[in-house]
Amino acid sequence: MITGGLGFIGSNLAKRLVDLGGQVTVVDSLVPEYGGNLYNVDGFRDRLRINISDVRDRYSMQYLVEGQDYLFNLAGQTSHMDSMEDPDTDLEINCRAQLSILEICRHHNPRIKIVFASTRQIYGKPDYLPVDEAHPSRPTDVNGINKMAGEWYHILYSNVYGLRACALRLTNTIGPRMRIKDARQTFLGVWIRCLLERKPFEVWGGDQLRDFTYVDDVVEACLMSAASEETNGQVFNLGSCEVISLKDLAEMLVEVNGEGQYTVRAFPPDRKRIDIGDYYADFSRIRSVVQWEPTVSLRNGLANTIAYYREHGAHYV
Amino acid sequence: MITGGLGFIGSNLAKRLVDLGGQVTVVDSLVPEYGGNLYNVDGFRDRLRINISDVRDRYSMQYLVEGQDYLFNLAGQTSHMDSMEDPDTDLEINCRAQLSILEICRHHNPRIKIVFASTRQIYGKPDYLPVDEAHPSRPTDVNGINKMAGEWYHILYSNVYGLRACALRLTNTIGPRMRIKDARQTFLGVWIRCLLERKPFEVWGGDQLRDFTYVDDVVEACLMSAASEETNGQVFNLGSCEVISLKDLAEMLVEVNGEGQYTVRAFPPDRKRIDIGDYYADFSRIRSVVQWEPTVSLRNGLANTIAYYREHGAHYV
């Protein structure tokens, strides 16, 4: 079962799982502002069980969780700005629904294995680089606080009740099926949309260093974490061997696309106050525990992503 | 304004504030399982504005916060066991209501100063002693996770919106007006009740080291933090110069009381898995920023507490 299964990472994971012969239930709310898109499962839709419902709906969750072997718990509110404008909704999805799912698992399916999608956002502005899992958590927005709590519920339920749960702290994920309509999921979505529409895109700041993981590598991390008992009760950074400034990323994207324009401008004030500066992860823990490492280069990842949207872009804007 | 103002610390703070000539609104839900008790303001009730309502009730909060200079935000669900049995209620009070109060302050009273009562519980099992504010947060129960989020909301709203908020991470607080009916607020409540009723009390484990702050010192820390601009956006440990094992505490309590019996037993399994071992705080940060330090010795604190319950105990059991 995949919550957020019609979203960016969820749908890529669903595709991989059915290709491996898995029986997959995807659960998605299809809230228009979030990542869910039925087109994401086009071509393999008939090999899935699709259930449209919201993780906040505890009765549907209780019914759906029953009998599942694995729960890839990816549903979330991911927009930092939305979390500041409507903190209550962020709390409902990223805290309350998570607690409710864990209670359901504990009472109705205690042998399930859960992989929770957490985020680098909980670290806040790094004290040191690369950031490892021991780095203090100092979230800079409501979303970061609520994701931190959501992650902790998973670890607590593992520690206290022996529920087999782990959390992956994702960094920027790129690839086919991401939301490109707006910046709610990632700024890169908007950049790609602008490229497709032959409009210039904006780079805010530009010197910030970041790491990017290609979605197939994130999917692999989910599977490897799910298959291991060593991951229970643990949190793991994902990351990349490549670190790049946003300006260089913009340049690379234009190169890969073959054309395109962008302007570099100062951070808007409402983003500046929740910006974290440079970030990149130390992912040696997951490498040593389950032997995960990224396999797709940034350039290839961007090329695959642009190729996907050239063909399917109309379904995403 | 004091949320939780009929509770243990809130009522002692209210008394101090009216003695200083303050105009004080105490807000309390009087949920029977929590710390609120009208008897706590007996003798100075007519010098207070008392409003019975719940921090989860955002409309009453909005009305009450308007025009206040200071908000001592002490209301909370404090029982660790209750948070595990009913995580949803803990979330509503310790997360959602906090976020809602901060939104209200931001929109309707942005110049208010807020002192939030946080807890050592968010540290979990210490990596080192004494525990300073840089120690990682690793809560061991749902209450600890939710209090951590509640504290972070306050710091975030200070950082992002310039709301003048700070948080005090309280350790074990003792003194008149604490709940002694059961162990929901502190194990010491039950010990004192047993002493008063001439029954033996139980010490679980016994070797764990702890620090205790007398309630008058906590009240002083609230006032000093409220009066300083240096505290905005900061968190501070409270603590004690004395560190004591629970066995020695039991011995001291019996001595101070003049009689009494206790038995030392192993931790019950449901408590063991959320126990944190030894804990005592480094409180040098608050000492250096606002010159707070504890003034009441543990022995005197226990003596005052027992004297209070000898006289007023009937109103607390």
Tell me how far apart the alpha carbons of residues B176 and B159 are, in angstroms, rounded to a whole number: 36
User: For residue B154, what is the nearest residue in chain A, using CA coordinates?
Assistant: A142
Q: Which two tokens stand for residue B71?
A: 């908000």
Query: What pLDDT score does B271 carry?
Result: 72
Beta carbons within 10 angstroms of residue B201's beta carbon: 20
Query: CATH code for B2-316?
Result: 3.40.50.720
Tell me how far apart the alpha carbons of residues A142 and A124 are, in angstroms, rounded to a whole number: 11
Q: Which residues are CB-neighbours of A39 under 8 A, at least 6 positions away?
A: A312, A315, A316
Query: What pLDDT score does A104 carry?
Result: 97
Per CB-CB distance under 8 Å, the chain B contacts of A97 are: none
Per CB-CB distance under 8 Å, the chain A contacts of B95 are: 91, 95, 149
Determine which helix (DSSP H) or strand (DSSP E) holds A14, and give its type and residue range. Answer: helix A8-19
* Number of cross-chain residue pairs from A and B with Cβ atoms under 8 Å apart: 71
**3-state secondary structure at position A312:** helix
**3-state secondary structure at position A150:** helix
Give yes or no for a contact between A278 and A266, defined as CB atoms under 8 angstroms apart.
no
User: Is B145 in contact with A140 (Cβ distance < 8 A)?
Assistant: no
Q: Is B61 on the interface with A (CB under 8 A)?
A: no
* Closest CA–CA distance from residue B171 to any residue of chain A (Å): 21
Per CB-CB distance under 8 Å, the chain A contacts of B87 are: 99, 103, 153
* Closest CA–CA distance from residue A157 to any residue of chain B (Å): 9
Give yes or no for a contact between B246 and B267, defined as CB atoms under 8 angstroms apart.
no
What are A21-45's pLDDT values in tens digits? 999 999 999 998 999 999 999 999 9
User: Is B134 in contact with A137 (Cβ distance < 8 A)?
Assistant: no
User: For residue A124, what is the nearest residue in chain B, using CA coordinates?
Assistant: B156
Per CB-CB distance under 8 Å, the chain A contacts of B84 are: 160
Tell me how far apart the alpha carbons of residues B99 and A268 are, in angstroms, rounded to a whole number: 25
**What count of Cα atoms within 13 Å lies in the side-chain half-sphere of residue B92?**
11
Tell me how far apart the alpha carbons of residues A157 and A20 are, in angstroms, rounded to a whole number: 29
Query: What pLDDT score does A257 carry?
Result: 97
Tell me how far apart the alpha carbons of residues B221 and B231 are, in angstroms, rounded to a whole number: 11
Tell me how far apart the alpha carbons of residues A253 and A240 are, in angstroms, rounded to a whole number: 17
Query: What pLDDT score does A153 carry?
Result: 98
Per CB-CB distance under 8 Å, the chain B contacts of A159 are: 140, 273
* Closest CA–CA distance from residue B93 to any residue of chain A (Å): 12
Nearest-CA neighbor of B170 among B226, B211, B203, B114? B211
Distances (CA, A) of B39 to A223, A267, B8, B36, B43: 58, 55, 11, 9, 9
Distances (CA, A) of B184 to A80, A126, A258, B26, B80: 36, 38, 66, 22, 8
Distances (CA, A) of B295 to B211, B217, B238: 14, 7, 12
Nearest-CA neighbor of B224 among B271, B286, B151? B286
Q: Is B152 on the interface with A (CB under 8 A)?
A: yes
* Closest CA–CA distance from residue B62 to any residue of chain A (Å): 16
**What count of Cα atoms within 13 Å lies in the side-chain half-sphere of residue B106?**
19
What are A79-134's pLDDT values in tens digits? 989 999 999 999 999 999 999 999 999 999 999 999 999 999 999 999 999 999 99
Tell me how far apart the alpha carbons of residues A179 and B264 are, in angstroms, rounded to a whole number: 60
Per CB-CB distance under 8 Å, the chain B contacts of A84 are: 160
Q: What ipTM was reported for this prediction?
A: 0.92
Backbone φ and ψ for B208, nearest 5 degrees, come out as: -60, 135
The residue type at A255:
E
User: Is A99 in contact with B84 (Cβ distance < 8 A)?
Assistant: no
Tell me how far apart the alpha carbons of residues A169 and A147 are, in angstroms, rounded to a whole number: 10
Which residues, given as ranges, of chain B have pLDDT below 70? 274
Query: What pLDDT score does A268 carry?
Result: 80
Beta carbons within 10 angstroms of residue B241's beta carbon: 11
Give yes or no for a contact between A242 and A297, defined as CB atoms under 8 angstroms apart.
yes
Strands (E), chain A: 2-3, 25-28, 49-52, 70-73, 113-119, 164-170, 172-174, 201-204, 209-210, 212-214, 235-237, 244-245, 262-265
Q: Which two tokens stand for residue B137?
A: 């947060």
* Closest CA–CA distance from residue A77 to any residue of chain B (Å): 16
What residues 213-272 of chain B have any CB closer than 8 A to a CB of chain A? none
Give yes or no for a contact between B29 and B36, defined as CB atoms under 8 angstroms apart.
yes
Which DSSP string do the residues of B126-160 spell out, in sequence order?
Answer: -SSSSB-TTSPP--SSHHHHHHHHHHHHHHHHHHH
User: Is A156 in contact with B146 (Cβ distance < 8 A)?
Assistant: no
Which residues, given as ranges, of chain A have pLDDT below 70? 274
**Max CA distance (Å), chain B:** 55
Per CB-CB distance under 8 Å, the chain B contacts of A100 are: 88
User: Is A145 in contact with B137 (Cβ distance < 8 A)?
Assistant: no
Tell me how far apart the alpha carbons of residues A54 and A287 are, in angstroms, rounded to a whole number: 33
User: Is B99 in contact with A88 (Cβ distance < 8 A)?
Assistant: yes
